[in-house]
Structure 1
């Protein structure tokens, strides 16, 4: 029984321990719950206080905003009130001004009405007096007509004709006297210089056509040039930039293009392809590239040779290249490079005679037409284009002005510009220097004679020396010696305004008196 009692004691102790533990846990939970309740109450109290604080701050902020808005509104209201007052003041002033102007206008209207009435009275008086004067003039006119035996219109015409004839006569005498005085000093010396320049220089003329013609060994070659479906001719035109004209012309192909250098490249390339026999796109490109390099070399060599022949040095390489390009450029079928060389020599000779810088004159003469090397690429007169190029590549202002002024596009600023003009005219105006189509040549001669015959007093007109001179014979009774000077000037001005021609045209008016008698 003793072990059972021990078990019972242990069991009771266990039950008592568990009850005490449960009671302890319960007491601890109650304390924890009370503590958490007190903390939550504190948090709620703090939250309530913070909410009160935020509410007060929001109320204060709202009051501040309301106060600021109220202040802004009052400020704007004051400004608006001030503007309205200012506008009202201006309107009152304008109203006063309008009233004053209205009063002034009323006064002015009354004054004008009075003046208008006075003017009407004066006008009636003037009309009456004018009628009286007209009656007196008519009476005097009738009296003068009866005394003179001619009408007033006839007398007026006679007076006008007399004054006009007298004025023309005096003008002709004055012009003749002034020209004689001007020629007295300059004409003889100028003729000597020009004659000497022409005598000391003799140049050949190289004539080229505006299109290039390539001769073919046979008409069968045309088909090979065209190629299958036209691929060869398209390749040639694409690589050279030149149009190939293959028509019914026997054994010939025509090359047409505005650029003479490209046309020359196309001509040489086609000739080499024909002689080689291998004509296909790849070969065409190869030959054209090779010929282009050769032409560039030839252009540079031609420019250097021209500068060497003329005797000028230190010209920029690009200007040398442009001078060389003139070898393939023509003007009225005159080779421009040959023309430039000739102008350079003529400028040098005349400069030497006048005691000027001969080297500079030759330089200006050689470069005067470089604008023609690129005038198909750049818009504008070739003289101004050439002057821009010369300025760009470092030529002095005198040479630049001489180039720009050689066709009077700008005024000449030195004697050098006049020399270049004269040499250019000499080179282009000599018979045989330039060519033109026969049809236009004959038409120009006919127009020259037609213009001369349209003037009063001209009996005959002849265009001579290949159109370089117009010789006019006038009626002895209609035109006096003094009037021949004015007639030649009038005809020359008419030719300048109506015709286009190379060089210059000399107008000569001849008046002579012939007395014929027969001895029997």
Structure 2
């Protein structure tokens, strides 16, 4: 507004000066021109006055606005100053409060320091009193602190053992009512539902001859036929006075089977010479390999387990020619697999996985005569190599405690293996081994304090331990049974399980005269 007013005033001044200049230059003017000039002057004066008034109004308005703005800024500054003043007052209060707290803390520190000193003095005094009392007690009791501590610890240990024995007894009685009954039901049901052969046939190592004349033809001129047959099969042929029979001797059951088939073919054909022997042995090897493959495939089919590596199936088939304690390992593996499946179904776990673990548990026996080590470890390594799951590998490894079982599957395989091997007629034991196992059982049982006698019964499946009633209490008998069982597990190898039965009785005898 101020700028506009100034411009208007300037314009009026310029117009007035121009008009004055024209009047001066043109002296001879007419009256009309004079009037026009006069009118122009009046108008210019009017314009100048109006412009001056507008300029004054604009200046006044600008001044008013500036004053208003200054008042507002002043008010804002006063409010800000007030707030700053309040903050400063608050800060002063806080500083005073902090100073008071610092003073209180200093007082507390001094108080605590004095208390610490007093407590330290009291502790020293108490320690001195305790030492004096201890020395007096040692003098009175005649024992040092270490000896008294040992006696106290022994008493506490004995009390803890007694309490633990009572607790164990109560827990076992409670668990035995359900667990023992249920486990027996499951195992009995598994045995009843599996219709396996009662006694498995052993691998035959004797070849029957149509007549004794055939022995000479088998031996050949200067023994060339028998040497060729032994060289081709790796099996020793024993031809002695046994009528109409040839004995095959060799550590490898597959080679022995090849030799048996080849010899039977040669006897049936009648043509026996080195060239013919090599041809027949080659055919017999192909037949055995095919039979091995078919046996492995048949086992997987019968059990309903699929996806087993072909090399593992071949090893399963080789178990057909392997025996353990006169029990055919192939049939034993099928039996264990079926038992595992039945028990797994009763427990509600994976049946196919249980059957698979049972079938493969003795896999290592197919090659344990070629590889050093336990058949369980060998079998686990083979299963791991051909992509079996860690659960299956662990079950194979743990079925003879080469690894501690940590799954239900591993325990199932252990139980099924024991059931299959321990049932009557399944296996044959040497008399010396049987007697030694019974003697070891009784020796372990009688090695504990308080045992008066022990008797191994039930073909070594149970050991009855007689204890003195004066030395062993009812609660200690529970602990003793566990200790005996643990020692048997650590020192002996046996199929199935052994029941430890601790018997304690008190007899009162009196005579009437």
With the length of structure 1 as denominator, give the TM-score of the two structures: 0.62
| Contact 2:202/2:327 (8 A) holds in 1 | no
Counterpart for residue 459 of structure 1: 452
Structure with the greater alpha carbon radius of gyration: 2
Distance 1:144 1:363, change over 3 A: closer
Q: Which runs of 5+ in 1 are unaligned?
A: 1-136, 146-154
Distance 1:230 1:488, change over 3 A: farther
Distance 1:282 1:193, change over 3 A: same
Distance 1:210 1:294, change over 3 A: closer
Counterpart for residue 355 of structure 1: 348
Counterpart for residue 277 of structure 2: 284
Match of 2:392 among 385, 389, 399: 399
Distance 1:502 1:185, change over 3 A: closer
Match of 1:256 among 249, 255, 278: 249
Matches within 5 A, 1:338-417: 338-412=331-405, 414-417=407-410
1:411 and 1:466 mapped to 2: Cα distance?
27
| Contact 1:211/1:257 (8 A) holds in 2 | no
Counterpart for residue 420 of structure 2: 427
2:241 and 2:160 mapped to 1: Cα distance?
66
SS of 1:470's equivalent?
strand
Distance 1:169 1:206, change over 3 A: same
Match of 2:165 among 145, 149, 172: 172
Q: Which runs of 5+ in 2 are unaligned?
A: 1-134, 143-147
2:473 and 2:406 mapped to 1: Cα distance?
39
Counterpart for residue 468 of structure 1: 461
Distance 1:224 1:440, change over 3 A: farther
1:337 and 1:228 mapped to 2: Cα distance?
40
Cα RMSD of the aligned pairs, angstroms, is 3.8
Distance 1:232 1:168, change over 3 A: farther
Distance 1:389 1:175, change over 3 A: same
| Contact 1:492/1:507 (8 A) holds in 2 | yes
1:317 and 1:509 mapped to 2: Cα distance?
51
2:495 and 2:361 mapped to 1: Cα distance?
17
Distance 1:421 1:501, change over 3 A: closer
Matches within 5 A, 1:280-319: 280-319=273-312
> 1:275: how far off?
4.5
| Contact 2:481/2:500 (8 A) holds in 1 | yes
Distance 1:519 1:337, change over 3 A: farther
2:245 and 2:428 mapped to 1: Cα distance?
24
2:244 and 2:459 mapped to 1: Cα distance?
35
| Contact 2:421/2:427 (8 A) holds in 1 | yes
1:249 and 1:186 mapped to 2: Cα distance?
56
SS of 1:340's equivalent?
helix
Distance 1:205 1:294, change over 3 A: farther
**What is the number of equivalent residue pairs in this alignment?**
378
> 1:398: how far off?
2.9
Counterpart for residue 485 of structure 1: 478
**Structure 2 residue 224 is the aligned partner of structure 1 residue 231:** yes
> 1:328: how far off?
1.0
1:158 and 1:390 mapped to 2: Cα distance?
55
Q: Deviations over 1:453-473 (max 9, x none)?
A: 333333332222222222223
> 1:327: how far off?
1.0
| Contact 1:406/1:420 (8 A) holds in 2 | yes
Distance 1:298 1:177, change over 3 A: same
| Contact 2:463/2:501 (8 A) holds in 1 | yes
1:158 and 1:274 mapped to 2: Cα distance?
84
> 1:170: how far off?
4.0
